[in-house]
Structure 1
Amino acid sequence: MTESNFDIIIIGSGPGGYVTAIRAAQLGFKTAIVERDFLGGICSNWGCIPTKALLRSAEIYHYMQHAKDYGLSADNVSFDAAAVIKRSRGVAGRMNSGVGFLMKKNKVSIIWGEATIDAPGKITVKASKTEAPKGALGPGTYQAKHIIIATGARPRVLPGLEPDKKLVWTYFEAMNPDKMPKSLLVVGSGAIGIEFASFYRTMGAEVTVVEVLPQILPVEDAEIAAFARKQFEKQGMKIMSGAKVTKLDKKADSVTATIDDGKGGTQTLTVDRVIAAVGVVGNIENIGLEKLGVKTDRGAIVIDGMCRTNVPGIYAIGDVAGPPMLAHKAEHEGVICVEAIKGLHPHPMDKHLIPGCTYCSPQTASVGLTEQAAKDKKLDIRVGRFPFIGNGKAIALGEDQGLVKVIFDKKTGQLLGAHLVGAEVTELIQGFVVAMNLETTEEELMHTIFPHPTLSETMKEAVLDAYGRVLNM
């Protein structure tokens, strides 16, 4: 058994965990990070990054199929499914090795295994089933004044939709399929479900999405979600909202789903594969939380604005600390956490300023209040909109289907929310995020010069529209 002392130990090496470790090391803390499976966590290995690699392949395949639209010729366009998957896994491998490099560069010790918190300041690490990276510390007892839990989340499992890794997939299997399905049922239309639906539809599968709520992309502004839905359906995707999968009947190489359409009727659908994308749940089990009396609520660890739990010396960040379950939220929480430990008095996170992005086609991105949420708060608002069809760069790109929507407080000019759908809006949204963090009003935005021709001009035009000054519509 090995025994060693640290200032800070972080359990979990996903984006939240490894960024927290780097910031802790920068602040002079002797830091260690515990991992049991793969450096970089789910995001780098099975989530955020490799899914974007898949979606990029699908995007290029789509452009090749529509080469004539750009005056080009591309005959007999096809894809090699194994090569597409191999590229995605290669991207994940680069991310994994990159995290290892960053840990070494910042002199963060890697402890390989599965951690349990025995008491504040003390953990026991048991051996992992996966091979440890070179130089990692092994099983043993470790001590640290501060223990930060960053164990992430896993796919939520609903009764009757239990994944079996063959016919019913989670995102793990969907990212590394044994073969490309010709037909697919996606249960759930959040970011994970819609991204996979978009990927497989572009690659040629017949895709049906079933969403129990009336609106797909439920966290998005209703107008943006409706716009996106129309584009998905134009691409041939079948969407059933307000519906529920009540039964799955598995055959040798197919699944027949019984679907309650929400209108008093039922229908059956036979597909090659099913993806269960009904959300994620925090990994709060088997860490020792119950024994220590760490407070949890609805599957998440309860924390304050500095990421402290109710037990001194124990902290939590990221998915395990509750929604929104986004990598960038986890990273920012980790920085807040260690800076607070250092006594730097960071600002607590304002969750209204956390952007959300979905990398489907078309992309969606948002920050702040939706129009309905602003109305629910009884706020007096101005709403501005600008379609991509009025933007020269979008037309030149052949990407004229999009919409930018902004919401302002009518009395103060405060930007309350921004919601986008269209090409590359996941890159555009940060302009609004910066504006909201700086408490920018409509006046500053209208006096800002946006470069021409760019997609970003749609952002200014939407602001102008909210105040009756739109120029290109």
Structure 2
Amino acid sequence: MTRVVIVGGGPGGYEAALVAAQLGAEVCVVDRDGLGGSAVLTDCVPSKTLVATAEVITQVRESGELGLRIGRASPEVSGVTVDVAKVNARVKTLVRAQSADVDRQLQREGIRVLRGTGRLDGPDRVIATLADGGTELLDADVILISTGAHPRVLPDAVPDGERILTWEQVYDLDELPERLIVVGSGVTGAEFAGAYNALGCDVVLVSSRDRVLPSEDADAATVIEDVFTRRGMTVLSRSRAASVQRGPVEGGRDGVVVTLTDGRVVEGSHCLLAVGSIPNTADMGLDKAGVRLDDAGFVEVDRVSRTTARGVYAAGDCTGVLMLASVAAMQGRIAMRHALGDAVQPLDLDQVSATVFTDPEIATVGWSQADVDSGQVQAVSVKLPLARNARAKMQGIHDGFVKLFCRPGTGIIVGGVVVAPRASELIHPVSIAVSGRMTVDQVANAFAVYPSLSGSVAEAARRLHLRGESPGTGHG
């Protein structure tokens, strides 16, 4: 029987464990922080639970157009408030429940779980330092490293868990911050900034780039920044934080002082640092085992999750390959199928769908506008504003769009962007089209419900219909 040892119980680790057990291996998972990893404990599950609450508040506050007055003093003023302590208590309850679900699932499959930390002693052995004391040597035919990453902090901005926070610490707040300064306008920063703004917090978003979400579709990012500013958020573009210090602010109250590199000073009650992640790969014996790391400390892997050490694989955030829970899980599954001789399809990043959980959401799949503009791929596109969609009009949705990319001549769909409420759900038909190499005609000829937001996906495909010329001619 093949012995598989997995270090780390996040999506990459527990999904790999399930596949390995299904394929008949003897599996042991060494987990330090709790099954589910950061995706369940401190990242995806808690943050999207917070976002869900924020979305409901926004819907209520902006429901005047639909004729609703819920606790309103006037059509312009909503009486909706939030109990942050209760919200965070619910977040923690869901986190524990989800982690327990993963634990039970592994137990049902006969997978052994050790609480502790794992370190490689060569490419075929793991030394487990157990949480309750002692060590255990685990000989392995296959090792998977799935240790995740942790929040990066600035040298002059050290989190204290009270006023200066990472995204892992916000769930200990009992009261809504009066003025929250979010440093970093990437996915994490934008999601938290939007959520806390919706909860009723005065938010200042410090962005070092020309716009928020610099890695996302430019049209989509523009929509989100416009929504942020319309809802009262202050966005400081081309601004970089030099330091964050705790101290008295205006009125002598306890707070934080954020000093920018150009000398400006921003005061607030709290500061949230969202400036990237650092892989959890230090002091694991990886170098001695022959596992190569890149300059940032991420494990180098190929498309079937192999490291440079024979029999050692890696998955998830510790590899730096698109830091998404879905990608981590796929990497883990691919690793075990490859290691145990099952049929395997290498990871194809061109088919990965991803979502930014702002309000509205941004969902993407396949090739992007930046890829097209840079000449990496030849494609034409069409973009349809949601404001023209009948269902959007009924629901009072004004922001967002559907954009599709297809190959000229063949009409094969190679990418898409959806900016809308629940874009994470609407992107799925586009994802199927990309992975299945479907043409715009195939998508256009599939029935779409009327009225529906997904009808805009079908309409975009119809706009790209081939009529004996390059698709997209005359459209924009």
TM-score between both structures, scaled by the size of structure 1: 0.92
- Superposition map of 1:298-447 within 5 A: 298-377=296-375, 379-447=377-445
Q: Is the 8 A contact 2:220 2:400 kept in 1?
A: no
Distance 2:449 2:53 in 1: 29
Write the deviation string for residues 29-50 of structure 1: whole angstroms up to 9, x where unpaired.
Answer: 1111111121111111111011
Pair 1:186-2:189 in alignment: no
Write the deviation string for residues 384-442 of structure 1: whole angstroms up to 9, x where unpaired.
Answer: 01111111112222223211111222133232221121111011112111111111122
Distance 1:464 1:259 in 2: 48
Distance 2:379 2:420 in 1: 24
Counterpart of 1:315 in 2: which secondary structure? strand
TM-score between both structures, scaled by the size of structure 2: 0.91
Q: Is the 8 A contact 1:380 1:411 kept in 2?
A: no
Which residue in 1 is equivalent to 2:34? 38
Write the deviation string for residues 274-309 of structure 1: whole angstroms up to 9, x where unpaired.
Answer: 111011121111211122231111321111221111
Pair 1:254-2:252 in alignment: no
Distance 1:454 1:436 in 2: 21
Which residue in 2 is equivalent to 1:98? 101
Which residue in 2 is equivalent to 1:268? 265
Distance 1:129 1:464 in 2: 62
Counterpart of 1:352 in 2: which secondary structure? helix
Distance 1:343 1:6 in 2: 11
Pair 1:109-2:106 in alignment: no
Which residue in 1 is equivalent to 2:277? 280
Instruction: Count the aligned residue pairs.
Output: 457
Which residue in 1 is equivalent to 2:25? 29
Write the deviation string for residues 284-337 of structure 1: whole angstroms up to 9, x where unpaired.
Answer: 112111222311113211112211111111110111111210000010111111
Post-superposition offset of 1:98: 0.4
Q: Is the 8 A contact 2:380 2:472 kept in 1?
A: no
Which residue in 2 is equivalent to 1:213? 209
Q: Is the 8 A contact 2:224 2:358 kept in 1?
A: no
Q: Please list every run of at least 4 consecutive aligned residues from structure 1 whose deviation after the TM superposition is greater than 6 angstroms.
A: none
Distance 2:16 2:403 in 1: 34
Post-superposition offset of 1:6: 6.4
Pair 1:125-2:121 in alignment: no
Q: Greater CA deviation, 368-377 or 332-341?
A: 368-377
Which residue in 2 is equivalent to 1:165? 161
Pair 1:12-2:8 in alignment: yes
Letter in 2 for 1:105: R
Distance 2:282 2:305 in 1: 19
Post-superposition offset of 1:343: 1.4
Structure 1 residues without counterparts, runs of 5 or longer: 131-137
The root-mean-square deviation of aligned C-alpha atoms, in Å, is 2.1
Distance 2:339 2:245 in 1: 53
Write the deviation string for residues 26-82 of structure 1: whole angstroms up to 9, x where unpaired.
Answer: 111111111112111111111101111111112222233345433334224322211
Post-superposition offset of 1:175: 2.8
Letter in 1 for 2:285: G
Q: Is the 8 A contact 2:441 2:462 kept in 1?
A: no
Write the deviation string for residues 137-176 of structure 1: whole angstroms up to 9, x where unpaired.
Answer: x741111110100001111123223322222111111233
Which residue in 2 is equivalent to 1:135? none
Letter in 1 for 2:362: T
Which residue in 1 is equivalent to 2:198? 202
Post-superposition offset of 1:243: 1.7
Q: Is the 8 A contact 1:367 1:418 kept in 2?
A: yes
Write the deviation string for residues 186-217 of structure 1: whole angstroms up to 9, x where unpaired.
Answer: 11111211111011101111111112122311
